[in-house]
């Protein structure tokens, strides 16, 4: 009796060889994931968060915030494009090049979409946890919440789950002094 065929794992080199089709291509443990372009609400929320963090960083230059698409190469089998990433100034200098980052950011932020919900909440959370991303934010546009995961003893723990409904303010020790009202994050035209 023959066993199941061994799964072929894609590498970053394989990913780079794909034609540019305008879609988001990621690898998690060598498995290839393709996502369509996100919807308008998703992009507006990403923009709102970026604006809040970038404005803060202009006044307090302690790091860099970047938008997708930008490859985060964790390993040759793990390459992701979080919606937003934050690198401390020191990590930026040692990790970020012109075409990609060779290592994890300090903070990864994913805004959930129907097509990426499971991947973002389970697969990427596990990848970010094991690769040393200090904080991971999962933004849920449907229920207007943000889950904040922080590393504690090498594992993520849910530090907070904030809701626009309760006029919550988001803050992080990675960016001392930053406070982001969830109402501003989820504000849509």
- For residue 29, tell me if it sits in a domain: no
Sign of the C-alpha dihedral, residues 32, 143, 187, 148?
Answer: negative
Least reliable range by pLDDT among 16-25, 47-56, 97-106, 121-130: 16-25
Q: Is 136 exposed, middle or buried (0-12, 13-18, 19+ CB in 10 A)?
A: buried
Q: Is the pLDDT of residue 1 over 80?
A: no
- Domain contains 85: yes
Q: For 95-110, what is the mean pLDDT?
A: 97
Of 117, 123, 125, nearest to 148 by C-alpha is 125
Q: What is the pLDDT, as a whole number, of residue 114?
A: 87
Instruction: Specify if 33 maps to a domain.
Output: no
What pLDDT, on the 0 to 100 scale, is given for residue 2? 61
Give the model confidence (pLDDT) of 134-172 as tens digits.
999 999 999 999 999 999 998 999 999 999 888 889 999
Q: What percent of the chain has pLDDT over 90?
A: 85
> 110 in a domain, yes or no?
yes
CATH code where residue 95 lies: 3.90.1570.10
Q: Please report whether residue 22 resides in a domain.
A: no
For the cut 70, the answer to whether the pLDDT of residue 3 exceeds it is no
Does a structural domain hold residue 166?
yes
Residue 55 in any domain: the answer is: yes
Helical H runs in the chain? 12-17, 40-59, 89-95, 117-118, 125-131, 182-185
Count CB atoms within 10 A of the CB of residue 98.
4
- Considering its fold, how many domains does the chain have in total? 1
- Residue 139 pLDDT: 97
| H and E: helices and strands count for the chain | 6, 13
Average pLDDT over residues 90-119: 95
Please determine, for residue 47, whether its predicted confidence score (pLDDT) is greater than 90: yes
Residue 30 lies in a domain: no
Domain carrying residue 101: 38-185
């Amino acid at each position: 009796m023959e066993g199941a065929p061994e799964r072929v794992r894609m590498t970053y080199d394989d990913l780079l060889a794909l034609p540019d089709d305008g879609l988001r291509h990621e690898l998690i443990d060598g498995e290839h994931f393709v996502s369509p372009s996100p919807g308008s609400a998703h992009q507006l929320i990403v923009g709102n968060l970026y604006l809040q963090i970038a404005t803060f960083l202009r006044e307090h230059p302690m790091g860099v915030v970047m938008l997708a698409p930008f490859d985060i190469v964790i390993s040759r089998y793990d390459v992701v494009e979080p919606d937003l990433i934050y690198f401390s100034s020191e990590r930026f200098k040692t990790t970020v090049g012109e075409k990609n980052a060779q290592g994890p950011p300090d903070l990864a932020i994913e805004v959930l979409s129907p097509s990426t919900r499971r991947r973002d909440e389970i697969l990427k959370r596990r990848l970010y946890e094991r690769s040393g991303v200090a904080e991971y934010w999962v933004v849920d546009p449907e229920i207007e919440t943000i889950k904040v995961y922080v590393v504690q003893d090498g594992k993520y723990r849910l530090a907070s789950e904030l809701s626009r409904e309760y006029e919550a303010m988001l803050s992080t020790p990675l960016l001392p002094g930053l406070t982001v009202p969830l109402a501003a994050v989820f504000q849509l035209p």
